[in-house]
Amino acid sequence: MDPHTYYQTAFSRNIGIFTEAEQDLLRRSRVAVAGLGGVGGLHLITLARMGVGAFHLADMDVFEAANVNRQYGAKVQNFGRPKLDVMVEEARAVNPFLEIVSFPEGVTEENLDRFLAGVHVVLDGLDFFSFHIRRKLFNRARDKRIYVVTAGPLGFSTAVLVFSPFEGLSFDDYFDIRPGLTEEEQYLRFAMGLAPRPTHLRTMDMKRVSLTQRAGPSLDSACQLCAGAAATEAVKILLGRGPVRPAPYYLQLDPYTWTLRRGRLPLGNRNPVQRLKRAAVKHFLLSDSASSRPKAGRLLRPFLKQEPVFGGDTPDCRPRPAVPPGPVKTRPIPKPVLDYLLEAAVQAPSGDNAQPWKFLLEEDAVRIQVDPDRDRSFFNVDQVASVIACGAAAENIRIAATAFGLETRMEVSTGPDDESLSARLVLEPSPIAPDPLHDWIWKRHTNRKSFAKGTRLSPVAAESLRHALEAFPGSSLHLIQEKKRLKHLARLVYLVDRIRTEDRRLHEHLHRMIRRSDAEARRTRDGFPLKNLEAGLAGEIFLRLSRPWAVMNVLNRLGMGRVVAVHAARGMAGASAAGLVTVSGTAAGDFFQGGRALQSIWLTAAAHGLAFQPMAAVTLFWTRAQRQGLTPFQARHHRLLERAFALYQEIFPDVDFYGAGHVMLFRLGHAPPISTPTLRRPPGAAEISMKNMDISCSLERPGSICTGDDTTPNSQTIYEP
């Protein structure tokens, strides 16, 4: 096929948007593309498909695996090949009759005039950190009366600027570039000028952005937006069609937030507001001081519109012990491994962080027992909450044991009441694979912050949460994702939280578990540090003032109990999803299994970057009513409870409300990391003695729990965290 016929056929579908005369004008146009990486390669292919007939292309780099996520030519077969060679092939595969002038040395000061010779418009595809040559390119193009278009991928968005040789501000004037600026300052000014009213900060982990190390994240979807926006501006310039608004006009399109930011920035970066923002960003976002970063969201939000959603990599909540060498292939289990498993166990959640467990170490097993004296609150009916916590601790041990090639066999026994529940976890060397949830044992936490609005639970995360229960027969997860049902659930939370706030027993228990100073938190290593409640300054003042029941009782009469309940309800209404974990029975063994299932779900949620907050009052109130009726509650709350329980059953129609055990209701969403984690009581360094211990019971009656020979002093050591 001859060039004319090919061109008319290949680009015929452009006609109707372009006229035939405009299409022919594009064929005779020459565009320079500087850099063929993330956006540059896409600029080339987009303009080639629009029918541009000639290009000057410059790049000196080669493709590698790190380019795959965003660069057009980054394919396995192209690794190690020059980007320029690959992209010339790709462009000629679109139009074999293209006229291309190659600059394999990239854009340099020496070839700048040759690179710009005869071109009609320049598209900037240079690496963000190639600032020196970018500045030379823009300024030389202005001298030669050539337009330059730059588009940057920022989060999910694109930010676009056009620099005209005839009007508007020059590169140096717009970005406020002058001699004596450090490289980092130049990068900062370029970034802030590119997006004066940024939309992307809420979707980026700024800890992954380093101007000094020349690093930052980038997405292919944003690069493709850049190509579409930049190519459109280039075509408008080439055809003399449509308005071209040069800097200080700017545009940022963000499909993730459904936001279009456009406007004019008088004086560019010299604008007083822009200067203030730049100073704040330098101090709070780019400072090496860890203490300054938490202030950034609060202080910069009026200027940067910053509402961080995702917290980035989840840090450990508490110090993680060194992992002993493994795998373990023979018995007895090494003492350092057993100690490590105890450290993992106590990372489990418990009601009000009471840590209601005791541990006993054997040569090849760990026993967990409920410690009823750790939590005798009204919430903890028949020690159900403590049994759930012990189940979660057992699941942590099982998960952590896989890191040492140890499989866990659980033997659970109960006495005449739930307080006497005991579980023996027998550790056996096995070719078992390490559980991927192991790392999340130390990262899991409760997040009471406000969750990001408008987010949904991903289908992959929902599937993973359901899959997390497959190892626990009799356990069920009931997920709610519909906004209407979440609002009904918020109403339920409101009713229950009113009762919690207005009941003296629950009020005083809460305040017994709040640690109002760092010193108190470090001394007790249980309960909640005040800032862990994420109440904010006003909330912390309220908690301090309302500590005496006499004060809170008066406040309740003034309606403050309703205000507190509304706050809790809003948290549920703003969640991405909510879940209810149930088990098939109501015996202690069922709730122990439910605690294991809950921990598996919680760790899975953490691994998916989801914020997780239990709403335990609902399930614990139901459990007490299920066992004891409404009598234990205050008479004035009976009608509220009847309304709440009716709504509860309406929201979860598939749950067997009278045969099933209700383990936990919780909310899920996206939120910034918590500021202050809870602490744990340390395992300590008590020596474990197995001498003279009578273990015949485990041999004669599998599943029973050995208690040792009562006549032998110090025959066992109980660890009480």
Does residue 711 carry a pLDDT above 70?
Answer: no
Domains of the chain: 3-181+213-266 (3.40.50.720), 335-669 (3.40.109.10)
Structure tokens at 87: 């992209």
Structure tokens at 131: 């600032």
Alpha helices by DSSP H, listed for 28-144, are 40-50, 83-94, 112-116, 131-143
CA distances from 176 to 153, 274, 275, 281 (A): 21, 11, 10, 16
Tally: H helices and E strands in the chain: 24, 19
Does residue 720 carry a pLDDT above 70?
Answer: no
pLDDT band at 287 (very low <50, low <70, confident <90, very high): low
630's CB contacts (< 8 A; 6+ apart) are 638, 641, 642
Does residue 382 carry a pLDDT above 60?
Answer: yes
Does residue 212 carry a pLDDT above 80?
Answer: no
Interval 659-667 mean pLDDT: 97
Span of 71-75, 80-84, 278-282 with lowest mean pLDDT = 278-282
Residue type, 82: P
DSSP string covering 449-486: SPPPTT----HHHHHHHHHTTTTSTTEEEEEE--HHHH
Query: What proportions of the chain, in percent to the nearest 5, are helix, strand and coil?
Result: 45, 15, 40
DSSP string covering 150-169: EEEEETTEEEEEEE-SSSS-
pLDDT in tens, 7-19: 999 999 999 999 9
353's CB contacts (< 8 A; 6+ apart) are 513, 526, 527, 528, 678, 679
Does residue 171 carry a pLDDT above 70?
Answer: yes
Interval 243-261 mean pLDDT: 95
Single out the residue of 362, 359, 387, 383 nearest to residue 373, CA to CA. Answer: 383
The answer to whether the CB of 397 falls within 8 A of the CB of 345 is yes
Residue type, 600: S
pLDDT of residue 709: 36
Single out the residue of 206, 669, 203, 156 nearest to residue 452, CA to CA. Answer: 669
407's CB contacts (< 8 A; 6+ apart) are 401, 427, 428, 429, 430, 432
Q: Cα dihedral sign for 203, 205, 206, 208? A: negative
Does residue 693 carry a pLDDT above 50?
Answer: no
Single out the residue of 376, 381, 417 nearest to residue 632, CA to CA. Answer: 381
Residue type, 235: V
Residue type, 582: T
pLDDT band at 420 (very low <50, low <70, confident <90, very high): confident
Phi (first) and psi of residue 142, to 5 degrees:
-65, -40
The answer to whether the CB of 298 falls within 8 A of the CB of 205 is no
pLDDT in tens, 56-68: 999 999 999 999 9
The answer to whether the CB of 651 falls within 8 A of the CB of 489 is yes
142's CB contacts (< 8 A; 6+ apart) are 148, 163, 165, 170, 171
pLDDT of residue 601: 98
For residue 89, the tally of other CB atoms under 10 A from its CB is 12
Tell whether omega for the bond before 332 is within 30 degrees of 0, i.e. cis: yes
CA distance 498 to 137: 66
CA distance 530 to 527: 9
pLDDT in tens, 680-692: 998 742 334 343 3
pLDDT of residue 284: 63
Question: End-to-end CA distance of the chain, in Å?
Answer: 82
| pTM recorded for the entire structure | 0.76
pLDDT in tens, 308-344: 444 456 788 888 999 998 899 999 999 999 999 999 9
Q: Which residue has the tokens 């570039």?
A: 177
pLDDT in tens, 464-501: 999 999 999 999 999 999 999 999 999 999 999 999 99
Q: Taking the C-alpha atoms of 214, 215, 217 and 223 in order, what is their torsion angle to the nearest 10 degrees?
A: 30
- Rounded to a whole number, what is the largest CA-CA distance in the chain? 104
User: What is the CA 373 to chain-centroid distance, rounded?
Assistant: 37
| Strand ranges (E), 49-126 | 54-58, 99-103, 121-124
Interval 353-366 mean pLDDT: 93
Interval 685-710 mean pLDDT: 34
Q: Which residue has the tokens 């293209």?
A: 98
pLDDT in tens, 589-628: 999 999 999 999 999 999 999 999 999 999 999 999 999 9
Residue type, 368: I
CA distance 361 to 369: 12
Pick left, alpha or beta for residue 429 (phi over 0 → left; psi -120 to 50 → alpha; otherwise beta).
beta
Single out the residue of 176, 205, 208 nearest to residue 191, CA to CA. Answer: 176
Does residue 189 carry a pLDDT above 90?
Answer: yes
